[in-house]
Each structure stands twice: as C-alpha cells, then as structure tokens.
Amino acid sequence: MDPFIVKAIQLLLSLSLLIVLHELGHFIPAKLFKTRVEKFFLFFDVKFALFKKKIGGTEYGIGWLPLGGYVKISGMIDESMDKEQMAKPPEPWEFRSKPAWQRLIIMLGGVTVNLVLGFLIYMMIMFVWGKNYVGPDEMPKGFAIAEEFKQYGFQDGDRVLQLNGEDLQNSTDVNRYLFMRDVNNITVLHQNGEEETIEVPEDIGEQMWEQGVMLPFIPIQNPVIEKVTADKAAEIAGLQKGDSIISVNEQEIGYWHEIGEITKDNKEKEIELVFKRDNDIKSIMITPDEEGMLGFSIKSNYEIKQQKYGFVESIKQGFDYGYWTLHDYVAQFKYVFTQKGATQLGGFGAIGGMFPDTWDWKGFWHTTALISIILAFMNILPIPALDGGHVMFLLYEMVTGRKPNDKFMEVAQMVGFFILIALVLYANGNDVYRWLFE
C-alpha cells in the first residue's frame, strides 16, 4: 500500500480515537453533574453531518470536517455562539447554573483524559514491546561530532557514557537531552581509551537552535543506503536501497556523516556522487536541496538492544516516559515564538508524517501517545475557545467571586476562535509550501 495512504489511515484512526475520548472527558462529568449535553460530535458538522442520531436528549454524530470534535453543553458560551439560549433565564440543567467547581471539572475533563491516555499507552508499550536502546558498547565507532562542539573537547569517535554524572542507557538520546533538558556535563570515552567529563554551556540548547546544529552527535556508520525518500533528489537521480557511496565531488567517503559535510557546503548545487551497486561502480550528478539534504537514510551498523519489563515495572517506566515526553515538549515550545520556529510549524501533514510509512502497531501507538500528550498541553493553554481559556475565566471567577459578563465572554470566544483558525491555516499552509517547494 502507498505510504501516503498508510499514514493517512493511521492519522485518521488516531485522531478519531483521541477526539472521541477527549470529548468523553467533558461529556461524562457533565452528565454526572446533571448538565444537559445537546450534541456529541466527532469532527465538525458545518452545514451538514455524515451521520447523526438523537439518543436520550443528546444528538450523536460524525461531521465531515476533520479538524476536531465537540460537545455542545447547554448554557455555555462556546464556538456555537448560541446567543438565543444565553439570552433566556438560566435553567437548573444548564452549565451556567452549576457551581464553579463543577464547571471547572467539566472543562478540565478533556485535557485530563488526553494526559492520562498518553501515559497509559506508554505503559502498555513498555509492557508489550519494551524499550529499544543503543548503549556505548553497541556503538564501538562512537559519534561523529559537529565542528561547533569540538571546541568543548569532544572528538570524533567519542562514546557517550554519562550525562550529569548519570549513566545514559540509550546513547542516541544525547542530542535530545542537550536540546531540551538541563545538561551541564557529558562523560565520554575517547577512541584512545581515555575517559573524560566535558562541561557544556548552560544555554547549549539555545546555541544548537540558533546555529542550526540539532544533531551535534551523529553515529558513525557506513554509507550504505537503507531507504530512499520519494520525490527527493536521491530518488530522482536513481539511487536505490543497497547502494554504497564511494565518493562525493571526488572526496572519498568512508562514513555516512562525511556526506552531509559536503552536501551542506553545496546546497542547491549540482555535485558528483560515485557509488557501488552490486559489483558495478556508477557515477551520477545530484543536487542537494536548500538544507543540503539528498533524501536518503542509511543502514544502521550498530546493534539495537531491547529492554523488557514486567507489568509493575512497565507502569513506572511508562509514567517516566510520559512525564519526560511532556517535559520535553513544553521545554521546546518556546522556540515556536522565534522567527525560525514559526516557519517550522506544521499542520495535519506534519502530524501524519510522524506515523510510520508501513503499518506498525508499536509505531502507531507511540505516535498516538505523543499526540495525546501534545493535545493535552495545547488545549490547556489560556486561549479563549480552548479548554484552557474557559479554565482561566473560571479560576478568575473562583478567586474574585465575580463572573465575567456574557458579552465579554462572547467577544473573547470569537477572538480566540479566529486566532485558532488563523493558526490552523498558517500551520497547514506551511505543510503545503514544504510539499510544493522543498
């Protein structure tokens, strides 16, 4: 099956699951507090719905616009902007008639479900599949070090042993930890057998972002192609899985990272690439894209080990993984507000690209858990029209004892709605731009 179709199916299935459970997080406490729920929809039913059926006073349905879902709760100022209902005297079964603490629980329900779901999925993954890792013993050739990091004392061939004095089980996590966590020092084993602890600047993550060095530690691997990306330079030039790169622009290639050093110096310039296929030596002309990429990945030549967990241990490991996933996402969120970060915002295309291009249940659940945690964080942001906006106004009411007036809430809801629509259009516009021009 075409990889695009596989990704699209996984995206639709994942979002459907997450949206329904998120809305149930609002629906269930609303029902418990005897609040009327008029609608429960997967996707938006603008003008018409693909399916709908009324059961017990609530209309359940599936809309045609897959941008989310919603529950319409009586007596609540939301995206439906039902001013006619709000103009009438409050009824005891309406949202606005309930105590503030009940309304707060109803509004926090969706975020809570997404957060708990993400953690539970990670626990399930740890129990069923365990965790893959590549330790320093499995990576005898070590890492190729970016030039910007050699000034600190790192050397090509270094094996990473510890971060901040603690053992690092998975050596390939080093780049992510440097970028998003508080790393003060790294203990490495040089190829000459000498062990050294090297201090790194406090703002090392910001330096990586500003310099565009997001992978300062790249595993040293043989330049044998494992996968060619569709419609990229490598596929267009005719490269195939199994091809072994011999030279680029007459510079002999011994390892994978040496290719990137040359292509980044020749962005959007035609270069010569010599490779071996079976017993034949071939030469082609190829043009790296604007980021210096050719569009292929190489075959790993290091051993990947697997750590299995029992039921009880998988709960702890899954919780830790969920906590640090949330931590890392929040930590990198600040970069969204930079000029560079704004250009890298992605919409449904970027989200779909996170899924594996062949059906893989572990990959599907891993990505679904990540999206669930991202949705929890994004929804709790204090923006009107999001759950976090409602929570913000409810907390104000609980602290001051005064409700914001309905007119103010209507304006805030409208402003928040337009902000969200603008962000959705911008993010998906970025996807379209990358698809057309990159």
Q: Quick one: pLDDT at residue 57? A: 87
Amino acid 80: pLDDT: 58
Ranges under pLDDT 70 in the chain: 1, 78-87, 341-345, 433-438
Instruction: Return contacts of 37-46, CB within 8 angstroms, 24+ apart.
Output: 37/71, 37/72, 37/73, 37/74, 38/72, 38/73, 38/74, 39/70, 39/71, 39/72, 40/71, 41/69, 41/70, 41/71, 42/16, 42/69, 43/19, 43/67, 43/68, 43/69, 44/68, 44/69, 44/70
- pLDDT for res 101: 94
Domain that holds residue 266: 224-298
33/357 Cα distance (integer angstroms): 44
Q: Calculate the alpha carbon distances from 213 to 208, 354, 415, 421, 430 in Å.
A: 5, 21, 37, 32, 22
| 3-32 helix and 100-128 helix, angle to the nearest 10 degrees | 140
Same domain for 13 and 97?
Answer: yes
pLDDT value, residue 184: 94
Whether 254 is in a domain gets the answer yes
User: Is residue 14 domain-shared with residue 98, that is, in the same domain?
Assistant: yes
Phi, psi of 72, deg, nearest 5? -100, 110
What integer pLDDT is reported at residue 418 of this predicted model? 84
What distances in angstroms separate CA 432 from CA 79, 103, 247, one per listed residue?
27, 39, 34
Residues 59, 105: one domain?
yes
Count CB-CB contacts under 10 A for residue 118.
26
309-329, pLDDT tens digit by residue? 999 999 999 999 999 999 999
Could you say which of 244, 267, 298 is where a domain stops? 298
C-alpha span between 247 and 226 (Å, rounded): 17
Give the pLDDT score at 104: 96
pLDDT value for 47: 87
* Rounded CA separation 425/419 (Å): 10
> 114 and 155, same structural domain?
no
**Distance (Å, whole) CA 402 – CA 394:** 10
Query: CATH number, domain at 183?
Result: 2.30.42
Shared domain check, 100 and 25: yes
Question: In the structure encoding, which two tokens stand for residue 138, read together?
Answer: 């499995």
Residues 119 and 7 both lie in one domain: yes
What is the C-alpha to C-alpha distance for residues 297 and 256, in angstroms, rounded to an integer?
9
